[in-house]
Structure 1
Amino acid sequence: MRIADYRITRFQFARDRVIGDSQVRIDTVNLSTVELIDERGQVGLGFVQGLFHPHPDQAEIQRVFEEEVWPDLDGQVPVALAHRVRRPRGGNQRAPGFPFEEAIQVALWDLAAKQAGLPLHRFLGSSRDRVPVYASGLDFHLDDAAFMEFFGIAADAGYRAFKIKVGHPDFERDLSRIDLLKRVTPRNSLMMIDANEAWSAKEASVKIGKIRDLGHDILWVEDPILRHDFEGLKMLRSATPWTMINSGEYLDIAGKHALLRAGATDMLNVHGPVTDVMRLGWLAAEIGTPVTLGNTVLEFGVHVACALPEVDWLEYSFQNFEHLVEEPMRIENGWIFAPDRPGHGLVLSEEARRDWMRPDVLHRADLGEAPPHSRGRAAAPKARERV
């Protein structure tokens, strides 16, 4: 079945908490969706997330799509486009005027799997339907009380692995946060830290060593130094054999390939574009490098995680998007489950279109209250001591 139509929807709403790291601070959701519709009315859904600035008005997003993207999709077979390899040259090596690339990949794979009548993870060749999930706070800008409340709730929900943000100019604050996390999570929980490139290579070596000297076991250290400092990353791998270096989040597909070829990371961090992530995952599997699946909108990345043998973990950050879809991914007792519905299983709800679609750009002050959180954070228990 061929692609016959499309639909663009623009969303904008307040977040229920400030998220961010040592480099950025974010308090709004800016999200647009692309739905590709085949001749039988089946829909493939993809997402465009803008972290820092509102998306243009919906009419402008649609204009860019109509002029720059739709001519290459109209009348095409989804699975053929999903597998197509392009070799852009010269002036053709450019992005569209709005960042549709990931959304198109996801929508094509969703629609192709639906046409085949398979869940996306099965369509990608998986032999499992769940992977471990860890609770990620995006917590750098939370005060200590909110930090403890957040991770206490995650622990009560059954998570047993937790990632926190470090890289504060005052290293004592980083150490204090590690102590606080251990107070509100069960003994023998796993801990990861993410510096978002805040450190130099030598500084990272010293600080990671100090954390260990204080008796803290860290499963991995994420993006401790600049993404292109392959020599520094290799030095860190040698200097800190008691933990793993997790890098690659900020690199494009060519940069991730170079990172793997250089042997500059213990783990490769990937995110959303299905085609790109599958190719990287195959390469990582060939050389035995573990892969971690970072944040994807509404956790659609669970399908890729289930299909790649080197993926041991998927990140969940309580970003409060679940109200946008009819049925979100199921998370229970530290596992996330890929649905057995055809495609990736996420369908925009009509209530979301009615209540949260924002065709025109709104100022932050006009967004009103954040949507209620559907993962139980509204009924927050008091933070409690480690048990």
Structure 2
Amino acid sequence: MAKIERVRTDLFRVPLERRLTDSTHGVMIDFELITVRIEDADGRQGLGYTYTVNHGGAAVATMVERDLAPVILGKDAARIEERWQDMWWTLHYAGRGGHATSAISAVDIALWDLMGVTAGLPLWKLFGGYDPTVPVYAGGIDLELSLEELLAQTDAFLDDGFRAIKMKVGRADLRQDVARVAAMREHLGDGFPLMVDANMKWTVDGALRACRALEPFDLLWVEEPTIPDDLRGNARIVDGGRHAIAAGENLHTVYEFAQAIDAGAVTLPEPDVSNIGGYTAFRKVSALAEANNLLLTSHGVHDLTVHLLAAAPHRTFMEAHGFGLTAFIVDPMPVVDGHVTAPDTPGHGVALDFEALAARAPH
């Protein structure tokens, strides 16, 4: 495989199709998209990207441009683990997570895409291959929607082919959360896969109280009931909450996942390929989950993630994120009867419409 010849980084502020709300991030009307395009000496290209919520995208783009691109230029594009380690240690003192692993993620994803293009294989096969048809759920970011709007959104998700749905909880009055979940369960019927996401809103005692109140509604899981930093508290929730507990979108290193799993603080690891360190790190978290007999889910960027879950025998539902890039993806994956199918095109198969995105570059 040829050496890395060029690295291009771009930053865009992308409007959301509708106003989104959850319990900790407030109102979201757009997000920042950071793209990385890597070209080797033979002219082949790989694409990677990550995103930030509300703030921080410029810092990620700067890290790629100033700190990571010089580290990988001129190096063998096929030695991805070596490139990853070089990037990790370059940013280690200033990073060990956060913006640093988001920057590494975008580059790593681009390197794996280039690897797949060069090999002529889709990434899900390059990762070993299991089943390209992956169950998917609609992740609503909908805390402040009225009940009528929430149910209308649910019907739209069903019309779009989804057969599993996650809704937001974490209102100031737990009784409102309970009433909304009860209405959703009645609307969807018994047995329909329904999850809730508190976005770290509750204290440990508050989470235990909420889990007990939500027990009658047969939830597939409760997500991020409290802050990820409190491993003992999360373990208390796992032990006493009477639900499966999904978490991980705010864990940004393999080591954090290892500590959470060892502490019994999570039953459904949920890494995000765009902030954990890319495909390289996500696959290590996947192996940790399998070795500990845990099912695996995911957060965000489902267009990229589908290859990882298509190669994982212990996967459960994949999230189709509310931050979807559908309007800017040349050929988005359709949802058919609750599933998406990983593409058979080389690499990850995602092509962005950079002409359309150009109007979203900050001035």
1:278 and 2:283 are equivalent in the alignment = yes
Match of 1:311 among 315, 318, 336: 315
Identity of aligned pairs, percent?
26
Match of 1:173 among 172, 176, 183: 176
TM-score, length basis structure 1: 0.83
DSSP 3-state at the match of 2:137: strand
Amino acid at match of 1:239: G
Cα distance, 1:203 vs structure 2: 1.9
**Which residue matches 2:352?**
348
Rounded Cα–Cα distance in structure 1 between residues aligned with 2:150 and 2:291: 39
Cα distance, 1:192 vs structure 2: 0.7
Using the TM superposition, name which of 106-115 and 202-211 deviates more. Answer: 202-211
CA shift in 2, pair 1:259/1:320, >3 Å: closer
Using the TM superposition, name which of 4-13 and 112-121 deviates more. Answer: 4-13
**Which residue matches 2:245?**
245
Match of 1:140 among 129, 139, 143: 143
Structure 2 counterparts to residues 39-58 of structure 1, below 5 A: 39-53=41-55, 55-56=57-58
State whether residues 18 and 141 of structure 1, in contact with CA within 8 Å, keep that contact through their aligned partners in structure 2: no
Structure 2 counterparts to residues 319-334 of structure 1, below 5 A: 319-334=323-338
Task: Give the CA RMSD over aligned residues.
Answer: 2.5
1:34 and 2:33 are equivalent in the alignment = no
Structure 2 counterparts to residues 189-228 of structure 1, below 5 A: 189-212=192-215, 215-228=216-229
**Which residue matches 1:9?**
10
Amino acid at match of 1:354: E
TM-superposition CA deviations, 1:310-369 (whole Å, max 9, x none): 2211001343412222212232110011100000001123xxx2233147525xxxxxxx
Rounded Cα–Cα distance in structure 1 between residues aligned with 2:100 and 2:211: 41
Specify the structure having the higher radius of gyration (Cα).
1
Aligned residues: 352
TM-superposition CA deviations, 1:134-177 (whole Å, max 9, x none): 11101113233322211111122332211111111111211122
Cα distance, 1:54 vs structure 2: 7.2
**Which residue matches 2:68?**
69
State whether residues 155 and 186 of structure 1, in contact with CA within 8 Å, keep that contact through their aligned partners in structure 2: no
Rounded Cα–Cα distance in structure 2 between residues aligned with 1:11 and 1:120: 26
TM-superposition CA deviations, 1:216-235 (whole Å, max 9, x none): 11111111122122222222
Match of 2:166 among 163, 167, 183: 163
CA shift in 2, pair 1:194/1:98, >3 Å: closer
CA shift in 2, pair 1:135/1:73, >3 Å: same
1:18 and 2:29 are equivalent in the alignment = no
DSSP 3-state at the match of 1:307: coil
**Which residue matches 1:368?**
none
DSSP 3-state at the match of 2:172: coil
Amino acid at match of 2:298: L
Rounded Cα–Cα distance in structure 2 between residues aligned with 1:97 and 1:205: 33
Using the TM superposition, name which of 124-133 and 80-89 deviates more. Answer: 80-89
Rounded Cα–Cα distance in structure 2 between residues aligned with 1:320 and 1:81: 27
Q: Which runs of 5+ in 1 are unaligned?
A: 363-387
Rounded Cα–Cα distance in structure 2 between residues aligned with 1:205 and 1:67: 45
Amino acid at match of 1:208: C
**Which residue matches 1:110?**
113
State whether residues 224 and 247 of structure 2, in contact with CA within 8 Å, keep that contact through their aligned partners in structure 1: yes
DSSP 3-state at the match of 1:280: helix
**Which residue matches 2:259?**
258
Cα distance, 1:257 vs structure 2: 1.1
Cα distance, 1:205 vs structure 2: 1.5
TM-score, length basis structure 2: 0.89
Cα distance, 1:280 vs structure 2: 1.1
